Structure 1
């Protein structure tokens, strides 16, 4: 018999607020958290807007040693893990540590610290040969992405499986999918899982400038992220993190845990086509959706809401629209779909987990978040993309999807637990 997996704890750090409540309030109000970049002078760059987090590590409970040792992305992950553990109500001290694991996702890991250290060692890039005498003693922590799940494992006392998943912009879904599989196969009973990324650095901004993936709409940062809108000009870079506590369903039920949802299906595919390009037919994303539905033992008509990837690039929005039609048929036209990237930007590897958090809260509260800044839909994106205003609606099954460079396409189905009401 397949073990069922449920979510019992959530921790979020996203642009525009601190914690789950402020995150959800922003989404349901349709407010945007995009602004001109303040972390460095963005004037030399094509895209000068981002969705930043006002994060004070000390007020978040991190010690001076932790702050010095950990990259910003790791700090986000640890703080979110603490929140998720507290939210779950699970007594980790009384749980066999060998049955607790960690699975985290990130696209660029410690990019913030690596760029900072390179600038110090090279004199802001003036010296071809870097001066090792000024090397940080914590450089290993920045170079090795697996340090992030190790930090979280130490935080929660997990001695079971631990892994870092780095599949670009699907990392946040894929890390959670990996955690689900470990519980299902019996390798763990509890998983602390999610993703964190802090890519708002000059080098990352320059990289996306080079391929013109990010928006040049610098004169109006608040309305720069426009998924599915005919006037969209690219995505808005962001940072953030979301971490969850997953448990085997029967164990969670016995202890009377609050269950947000069951993760009933997950699948990922690769298009083996192009590093950054997408085919217009959406075939590989549609296949991931169908596989996730099959694992959930659901027909496409059971989906009540789709949390879209919705990056705000023309090729992605059209590819995704085609995938929904291909996988859900006529039901795609009757299903509300929205992109929270319109409000919190695109935090690369973290966004998949942040979107899972939004989907869980949508089920919990019976509300579909809107797509902000959607005033004039692209005629090729002719589905119900919930423009501007949130909608109240009972949600029993939610589909969340992700699309990433390298051709990665992932889908996850979340279902309302038995007996729960919105």
Structure 2
């Protein structure tokens, strides 16, 4: 098992900072915020009116792009009166209507990652190719829409696709169907740790020898009336409605809660020799994965960060690195009063004296918190930090909390070689997940 090494060869992101990797990265290192007054629904009666929404997203175009990977079905339907383009558009429209927004995001990011990797799925064993894409909540918008229809028009008017659109595993299922991927396929639900767990378990399956390639990550679309109301009732969301771009402020003294975000982050990872044989361009090696439970509280982390620290230590042990070798940590850093302090303590526990000299930043300061998709998007940021030698900043860090006393790369990106990066994600229920990536060759 330990002899099989895993590398990252493709990235796909749909985010409030852009719907492609290049735009996302440019905005990230320029310190731009994707948080705005949300447009998904009328915010008048809601206390929180801000979110990191995905803009200019075309779900029909997404499925048309995905369908290019296998033209045969559309070609078979073409007739003298229906062109290939007409058939492809009709098929994509039908698929988009039958999918919740989180699934649409997943298909878009998976298509992007597959294209970026240069992998020709026609030339590989599809039963050795897996999909592991999770979602913290799943099809919340579909649930709300169909509940309204049920109460307004009766049970006979509820869509037959209701359950399929709601359930969290459907992102992984639809991606596998879109590309004809027949290997291991499942979905993990661990709240905000979902994407990291998904990538980590895909890594484990490849190392164990049951697959050679995976599309792995997370997708989320919960900027809905119920989503905003539920988190607001917990007093979890920032209410800095008059300054949306300054609302997400991890590790800042004046932070008042997180900002909801949406999108998807998916990586294409594969076994090293498999990647070499096809001449793949390798971003970095994925060499460590840690997971743990706080076993403490439904929504709050352990006060001293012991659970998260165990998680980071496990990832370092898997990778065979010590704390002094970590260059950069992409923090969970949600901008909540308790969470940021607890993560700071966890980093100190895990890294010891090296914590003070390790760069830490929270890209949620720009994207908002993408919940189950957060780890996928933030892992992409780690991969790009290694590739380009630039660490993205924590913006809005104007008055650093005295209890958050590490180097959070405040407000401006930093050009510095990154050889080893850690990505932290911690979720409600006490779920902790850490990924460790290193420059290739390691």
TM > 0.5 between the two?
Answer: yes
| Aligned residue pairs, count | 413
Does the alignment pair 1:316 with 2:339?
Answer: yes
Deviation at 1:120, TM superposition (A): 2.3
> 1:89-238 to 2 correspondence within 5 Å?
89-123=118-152, 131-238=154-261
Q: CA deviation at 1:250?
A: 1.2
**Which residue number in structure 1 is paired with residue 69 of structure 2?**
none
Contact 2:51 2:259 in 1 (8 A): yes
Is the CA contact (8 Å cut-off) linking 1:4 and 1:184 kept in structure 2? yes
CA distance in 2, matches of 1:372, 1:74: 30
Q: Matches of 1:179 and 1:223 in 2, distance apart?
A: 36
Partner of 1:362: 385
Unmatched tracts of structure 2, length 5 or more: 65-91
1:345-376, CA deviations, whole angstroms, 9 ceiling, x for partnerless residues?
A: 00110001110011001111110000011111
Equivalence for 2:73: none
Deviating runs (4+, > 6 A) in structure 1? none
Counterpart CA distance in 2 for 1:46 and 1:169 is 23
The aligned counterpart of 1:45 is 46
**What is aligned with 1:127?**
none
TM-superposed deviation, 1:222: 1.0
Is 1:82–1:155's contact at 8 Å kept on the other side of the alignment? no
Q: How far apart are the structure 1 equivalents of 2:178 and 2:323?
A: 39
Pairing partner for 1:333 from 356, 361, 385: 356
Q: SS of the residue aligned with 1:104?
A: strand
1:403 maps to 426
Where does residue 85 of structure 2 map in the other structure? none
CA contact (8 A) 2:378 2:423 kept: yes
1:81 partnered with 2:110: yes
* Offset, 1:137: 2.2
Q: CA deviation at 1:110?
A: 0.7
Structure 1 alignment gaps of length 5 or more: 124-129
Once residues 131 and 292 of structure 1 are traced to their aligned partners in structure 2, the CA distance between those partners, rounded to angstroms, is: 51
Residue number in structure 1 paired with 2:95: 66
Higher mean Cα deviation, 367-376 or 57-66? 57-66
2-side partners of 1:166 and 1:378: how far apart? 32
Distance of 2:63 and 2:171 partners within structure 1: 18
Secondary structure of the corresponding residue to residue 187 of structure 2 = strand
The alignment's TM-score, normalised by the length of structure 2, stands at: 0.92
Would the aligned equivalents of 2:134 and 2:169 in 1 still touch at CA under 8 Å? no
TM-score by length of 1: 0.96
CA displacement 1:44-100 (0-9 Å, x = unmatched): 122111000011223435411111111111111111111111111111111111111
Root-mean-square deviation (CA), in Å?
Answer: 1.1
Alpha carbons 2:142, 2:166 under 8 Å: kept: no
For 2:63 and 2:433, locate their aligned partners in 1 and report how far apart those are by CA, in whole Å. 34
